[in-house]
Structure formats: structure tokens, C-alpha cells
Amino acid sequence: MTLPPSTAPAPRPATDGRRAAASRLRAHAAALRSHAQRLRASAAAVRWSGPEATAFRQEVEQLAGRCSVAAQALTHSATRLDPS
């Protein structure tokens, strides 16, 4: 999933504070991507079948997807703060 084009003004040159904030956003994005991967791996490792297992896997996939979307938004915000 990609974010829609931004209509915000061009980013300003990064200051030390903006770089630090961007770095923290990127770290949070990386953590969310890692969480999404672990969720997907855990759901795939479930050893039961049936409608409950399918529902569980679908719910976990939705949660992992939300983590991935949030990570992408944080990365986008970090890039706006510090494009380097």
C-alpha cells in the first residue's frame, strides 16, 4: 500500500532537532515492521485448522497490515523532516 501524494510544502532544511526526530520516527517504523513480520510468522506457525484458525490468521494479518501501514507513514514523516 502506498501513501497518496502529499500536497504539503517542500520540506525545510533539517536542523539537529529535526534530524533527531526523524531518526526516532525511523526507529519506530523499523520496530513496527519487525512486529508485523513476527505477527505474520507466528500466525503461520499455528498448527490448528478450521474456521477459528482461519479467523485468527485473518485477524493477525489485518493487525500486521496496520503495523506496516503505520511504519510506512512514520517513514514518510521522517523523510519530510529530514530528506537525507
**Lowest-pLDDT range of 9-13, 17-21, 22-26:** 9-13
Give how far Cα 72 sits from Cα of 49, 51, 55, 75, Å: 32, 31, 26, 5
pLDDT tens for each residue of 30-42: 999 999 999 999 9
Query: Model confidence at 11, in pLDDT bands (50, 70, 90)?
Result: low
Number of H helices, E strands in the chain: 2, 0
55 pLDDT exceeds 60? Answer: yes
Query: Is 6 inside a domain boundary?
Result: no
Domain count of the fold of the chain: 1
Looking at residue 49, the DSSP 8-state letter turns out to be -
Query: Model confidence at 78, in pLDDT bands (50, 70, 90)?
Result: very high
Query: Is 52 inside a domain boundary?
Result: yes
46 pLDDT exceeds 70? Answer: yes
Domain containing 71 equals 19-81
Three cell numbers, residue 65? 497490515
Three cell numbers, residue 37? 513480520
Query: Is 62 inside a domain boundary?
Result: yes
Query: Is 32 inside a domain boundary?
Result: yes
pLDDT at 40: 97
Query: Is 3 inside a domain boundary?
Result: no
